Structure 1
Amino acid sequence: MTFNVQCVAKTQDVLGESVLWHPTERKIYWLDLKGPALHVYDPAGATTDTWKLDLGTPMGTLVRAKEGFILTGREGTFKVDVAARRLTPWVNPNDRSEFTMFNDGKVDRQGRLWLCTSDIKETEPLGGIYRLDPDGTSVVQDRGSACGNGPAFSRDGRRLYFADTIDRKVYVYDLDPAHGTLTNRRLFTAFAEAEGMPDGMTVDADDHVWICHWSGWGISRFTPQGKLDFKLDLPVPLVTSCAFAGEKLDILYITTATVDLDAATRAKAPLAGGLFAVQTGHRGLPEPVFGMAG
């Protein structure tokens, strides 16, 4: 299957991540976790604005909130006012901050933020899955991964997908919408070594799961039963996160990275670290906002 993949922002991010669509502003937001920086891409003008952040690296994730955004980093969470270029420290749910750091995160249909943590060295299974509620309270839902990624939610909000990146496995949990609890963890899919490692993900309007391949040069679409539908090939190896955007949610935006790429690979993939866009023939789901039930 062939797609017209375009690099729309040649930012050469060290570790591009956490891409999201702002439907009111009609803009794309994403992070360079090791820049550290926050980028804003305007598809109408094909322009990119970059805000260099004075934070420890790597950062974790960026999500829309009832007011502005929430950003996670080594220092905890921050309320973000992009227009004013202002970060306001909020809470730090990480109860193992001397050993772990925030990585990926997403908001569920009830407006709660689910955060993954990773072992700082990404070798020991010290990471966990945290649920952060709008009032600032948090609960650990699971532990045992060296590098937690995703997460993503099924169309009905009753399943949470989670990537255990280092082990090359993606799991699915049952999610109780009323109580925000996870149960019945089981394997969704596993990546072979040649496929790289599972990274960020999203769920489309058909309830299929799109999973990025770190060191795998693309994104794969899976059925709700974990069967591979197809792979979208990209001209760069380190594919990190993806989100559907546009008025019809029919354009897939994809972040990538350059971290630790050798000279030969950089020469083979000169667009590495850029933001990519592609129309896949599929549509996404509106992403929930922290503090607002969908």
Structure 2
Amino acid sequence: MRYTAELAVDAHCSLGEGPIWDSSEQQVLWIDYDEGILHDYLPSSGVHRIRKLPMKVASFALRVGGGLLIAGDRGLAFYNSADETMEFVCDPESHLPHTRFNDGKCDPKGRFFAGTASKGNVWDGALYVFYPDGSYRQLDSGIGCSNGITWSINEKTMYYIDSLAYRVDAFDFDIDTGLVSGKRTVIPYEGTKILPDGMTSDEEGMIWVAEWGGWKVSRWNPTTGERLAVVELPVKYVTSCVFGGKDMDELYITSASSPLNEAAHAEQPSAGGLFRAKIGIKGRPIHLFRG
């Protein structure tokens, strides 16, 4: 099965990342990490807004009480977009100035999972779980570039991407504690020049992986390792994806323009844009942080 994505917002992001579908407002939000900008887009009206963030942010979650939990260059913080105030939460890697937080996502219990990446591509990143009470635990270490996270329908498996390892892994997941074990590879990308990046899942239990350098998003069966479908894009550096729309059957996809030279950018004028593909398969809603 092949789908084609259309340009939804010509956002000109340097490094578009972390899309979230806000079902209460029926809008998609995402960030430009390099520029420290929060984007939101309301498909029903076509309104696209941008807001400057107080730090470079790579991922974020909506909070139950309003506002955002943001993760980026200086750890985690609460951000109130209404008055543009930020409240520092924690930075488990304050002693490692060459690392930063990257992709993150909330599980069904409202805990936030996020990992770090080295600014110099050194394998000293880690994966963490952040609890609503303010505590956190390290789940894995020796990470090159922590990226996509999603869960199986029965919540017994957490899928996870370390991009520099060129693979999608699975962990046994304890829904009660938020802890993981039994790491194993389910989708190998070794031997390719494509880095698996952000990831989401659908109501059939399949996972959708954005492919940095691959011009597409791929749908995989994580049980068999079979590629089931691709969403083709007119841009090379595809970063992440999330299901949205009133029927939750549209895939919103972020992209990057920063790696492109002048000639490549001329060939990919929509690089850095937000794309949309009508899939016909429903995705699973995001979860909010309960802290």
Q: Classify the TM-score, shorter chain.
A: over 0.9
1:80 aligns with 2:79: yes
Aligned equivalent of 1:161: 159
Deviates more, 1:190-199 or 1:203-212: 190-199
Counterpart-to-counterpart distance in 1, 2:281 and 2:162 = 26
CA offset digits 1:206-240 (Å, max 9, x no partner): 00000000011000000131221122111101111
Whether contact under 8 Å (2:4, 2:232) holds in the other structure is no
Whether contact under 8 Å (1:173, 1:184) holds in the other structure is yes
Aligned equivalent of 2:49: 49
Counterpart-to-counterpart distance in 2, 1:93 and 1:131 = 11
Letter of the 1:233 counterpart: E
Whether contact under 8 Å (2:69, 2:77) holds in the other structure is yes
Letter of the 1:114 counterpart: F
Shift of 1:188: 1.1
Shift of 1:79: 1.1
Letter of the 1:191 counterpart: Y
Give the alignment's Cα RMSD to 1 decimal.
1.5
Q: Which runs of 4+ in 1 moved over 4 A?
A: 192-195
Whether contact under 8 Å (2:74, 2:94) holds in the other structure is no
CA offset digits 1:232-279 (Å, max 9, x no partner): 111101111100012211111000001121122212211000001111
1:37 aligns with 2:37: yes
Whether contact under 8 Å (2:3, 2:230) holds in the other structure is no
Q: So what's the TM-score if we normalise by structure 1?
A: 0.94
Shift of 1:54: 3.3
Whether contact under 8 Å (2:54, 2:86) holds in the other structure is no
Give secondary structure in 1 for the equivalent of 2:90.
coil
Whether contact under 8 Å (1:116, 1:130) holds in the other structure is yes
1:246 aligns with 2:242: no
Counterpart-to-counterpart distance in 1, 2:158 and 2:98 = 25
Letter of the 1:149 counterpart: N
Aligned equivalent of 2:219: 221
Q: Matched residue pairs, number?
A: 289
Give secondary structure in 1 for the equivalent of 2:266.
helix
Counterpart-to-counterpart distance in 1, 2:17 and 2:196 = 13
Give secondary structure in 2 for the equivalent of 1:265.
helix
Counterpart-to-counterpart distance in 1, 2:185 and 2:83 = 43
Aligned equivalent of 1:15: 15
Whether contact under 8 Å (1:194, 1:216) holds in the other structure is no
Whether contact under 8 Å (2:61, 2:68) holds in the other structure is yes
Deviates more, 1:143-152 or 1:74-83: 74-83
Whether contact under 8 Å (2:5, 2:231) holds in the other structure is no
Unaligned stretches of 5+ residues in structure 1: none
Counterpart-to-counterpart distance in 2, 1:266 and 1:289 = 36
Shift of 1:90: 2.0
Matched-pair identity in %: 31
Q: So what's the TM-score if we normalise by structure 2?
A: 0.95
Whether contact under 8 Å (1:99, 1:126) holds in the other structure is no
